[in-house]
Structure 1
Amino acid sequence: MGQPFTIALGLKAVFLVTSVLGLIGLWISIVADTGATVLVTLNALRLLHFDPEREA
């Protein structure tokens, strides 16, 4: 599993548990999940600038 997938699942699990336990509100969980999705997407977009020949 890749780094973005692991980050996304980890954050979803954290916000699910904290929301179910009542530690944070549902809307905060929704906003945090959306933000996490944006961060994971931006992290994955770094691959567009990867040049294997330059790294070798």
Structure 2
Amino acid sequence: MTVPESAAALSAATVVPAVWWAVLSLSRQVRELSVARDDLLDAASIHTPCVSTRSA
């Protein structure tokens, strides 16, 4: 194995776990954001009748 091949293998061994960790982190953030969005939509649907009756 030559030096460039060794460097490429080392680079791939370093990059692949980093990319995998980034994908897992992003998927967790997307899941948390979707849960937060659902909570906000639920809260908005609960408070919408209160706001509409006050303005009437």
Q: TM-score, normalised by structure 1?
A: 0.46
Q: TM-score, normalised by structure 2?
A: 0.46
Higher relative contact order (CA 8 A, sep 6+): 1
- Whichever of the two has the greater Rg, that structure is 2
